[in-house]
Amino acid sequence: MICKVTNKKIKPFMSFGRMPIANGFLKKNQFKKEYFYNLEVGFSKEISLFQLNNHPKPKQMFNKNYPFFTGSSKGMISHFKSYANWVKRKYISNLNYLIEIGSNDGTFLKNFKNTNVKTLGFEPSKNVANISRKRGIKTINQFFNFKNVKKNKNLKNKIDIITAANAICHIPDLKSLIKGIDFLLTRKGIFIFEEPYLGSMYKKTSYDQIYDEHIYMFSVSSIDKIFKKFGFELIDALEQKTHGGSMRYVIARNNIHKVNSNVKKKLKYEIKNNIHNLKGCLKFKKNCEQSKKKLLLKLKNIKTKDQKIAGYAATSKSTTILNYCGIGPEIIDYICDTTPEKINKYSPGMHIPIVSMNHFKKNMPYAAFLFAWNHKKEILKKEKIFNKKGKWLTHINL
């Protein structure tokens, strides 16, 4: 295996086995042609980077059928509003032009409407890009990479802020990404992005964060080291609650802005907790294996009592849990979800039927596996009847 940034050889330290596309919800007649790959992870000691080995090509995931819509969660809508307000509060005096990478349905950028800030989104999936355009948000339906970015000569060194959320870890070629950022940003320009945090994944053993779209699980140590290689520096790092624990990284050109003391503090924390080295990976591997055993036992105990189990929310994350642990329709009867594009299809790999929320209300199971555990608060608030009648379960301690 080759590190995608240093191009040096590294050894994969763990495999989650044969895996389908995480968001590849499919119809029965597509079962035979389903694509699988081996989900393996490795770690570059040089830049502390946790990464996938093989992964499907981005076009296999982000296309006209991409079924993920940021606006499907109230919690995320409100998070993006406060993210946008934070950007405005901190940077508005120098902010004329902002670009978002992976702008999805425009949930973040719509917060800049009715301001003087010009915005532009880069979104590779046509269906979600079109939703954003319908909302009046200027969107380029292309991947954000140097090749596509440099076509926009008029934007060279004109962008004050580039943002992203849960998008940078989806981009395999980080060098091309950074070249694109370098092309666009003004001298004082800032790049802000937030991603699921490796330290939170270790803490919770939430291995379901690992799937084809998440090519990297970043940490403060890795981001610090990667950007240093390209003339940029990490100037701040702020923890976020989203996706079960994320980190917001603030990047600038070298020696232009003050570096916040958070950076040093977080780097120290990561060294103390083995988040920057292979030791942390090996401990995580052991924890995953134990978690799998524990989960299968928990599910078996419910099934021997002939009780029904449903899945709640057909998340991308659930694909890793179901396929790694070998959980199919013999254990989980159905998975309910709010996304029309997923309903009446089957889950990738294990082929559990995806049904509407109405089906859940009419066929309440004994237990519901909360696959969207990161939206627990929002979901428990609306599932008052099931809270009383049924039992929630997850593979992690929340």
Write out the residues near ligand TYD by the rule CB under 6 A.
68, 72-73, 313-317, 337-339, 342, 372, 374-375, 378-379
Q: Whose CA is closest to 356, among 389, 313, 391?
A: 313
Give the gyration radius of the chain's Cα atoms: 21
CA distances from 108 to 65, 70, 86, 203, 222 (A): 21, 9, 12, 28, 26
Q: Least distance from C-beta 314 to ligand TYD, angstroms?
A: 5
Q: Least distance from C-beta 254 to ligand TYD, angstroms?
A: 34
Q: Which residue has the tokens 């929310």?
A: 313
Q: What are the backbone angles phi and psi of residue 25, rounded to the nearest 5°?
A: -65, 135
CA distance 237 to 251: 9
**Smaller CB distance to ligand TYD: residue 131 or 226?**
131
Q: Least distance from C-beta 69 to ligand TYD, angstroms?
A: 8
Q: What is residue 137's three-state secondary structure? A: coil
Q: Least distance from C-beta 37 to ligand TYD, angstroms?
A: 18
Identify each DSSP E strand in the chain by its residue range: 12-20, 36-44, 49-52, 97-101, 118-122, 139-140, 159-165, 185-196, 216-217, 232-240, 246-253, 309-312, 335-336, 354-355, 367-370, 391-393
Q: Which residue has the tokens 């696959």?
A: 371
CA distance 97 to 160: 6
**Smaller CB distance to ligand TYD: residue 127 or 262?**
127
How many helical (H) and strand (E) elements, i.e. helices and strands, does the chain have?
13, 16
**Smaller CB distance to ligand TYD: residue 9 or 377?**
377
Q: Least distance from C-beta 89 to ligand TYD, angstroms?
A: 26
Q: Whose CA is closest to 365, among 319, 328, 332, 330?
A: 332
**Smaller CB distance to ligand TYD: residue 213 or 270?**
213
**Smaller CB distance to ligand TYD: residue 73 or 103?**
73
Q: Least distance from C-beta 66 to ligand TYD, angstroms?
A: 11
The dihedral through the CA atoms of 115, 119, 123, 126 has a sign that is: positive
**Smaller CB distance to ligand TYD: residue 170 or 266?**
170
**Smaller CB distance to ligand TYD: residue 167 or 267?**
167
Q: Least distance from C-beta 328 to ligand TYD, angstroms?
A: 19
Q: Least distance from C-beta 380 to ligand TYD, angstroms?
A: 10
**Smaller CB distance to ligand TYD: residue 110 or 170?**
170
